[in-house]
Amino acid sequence: MPEISIAELSRVVQKPGESANDFICEFKKVRSRCRVFLPESEYVKMAQRGLDFELRKKFQGMEFRDFYELAAKEVEEIALAEVANSGSRTVPFLKRKSEELSKKNIPPVQTPYTFDASKTEEIFDHLVKEKFITSPSDHKLPTREELKGRDYCKYHNSFNHNTNACWAFKNVLQERINKGILKFPEKKEAMIVDEDPFSPDSQCEHERY
Residues that bind Zn ion (CB under 5 A): 153, 155-156, 166
Q: Is the CB of 166 or the CB of 173 nearer to Zn ion? A: 166
> Judged by CB, which is closer to Zn ion: 27, or 113?
113
What is the gyration radius of the CA atoms in the chain, in angstroms? Answer: 22
CB of 161 to Zn ion, least distance (A): 6
Least separation in angstroms between CB 83 and Zn ion = 12
Least CB distance from residue 61 to Zn ion, whole Å?
23
With H, G, I as helix, E, B as strand and everything else as coil, classify residue 69.
Answer: helix
Helix axes 67-75, 40-50, angle to 10 degrees: 40
Calpha distance 88→106 (Å, rounded) = 30
Which CB atom, from 156 or from 176, has the smaller least distance to Zn ion? 156
Q: Choose between 38 and 160: whose C-beta lies nearer to Zn ion.
A: 160
Shortest Å distance, C-beta 166 to Zn ion:
3
Q: What is the largest distance, in Å, between two alpha-carbon atoms of the chain? A: 72
Contact (Cβ atoms closer than 8 angstroms) between residue 34 and residue 5: yes
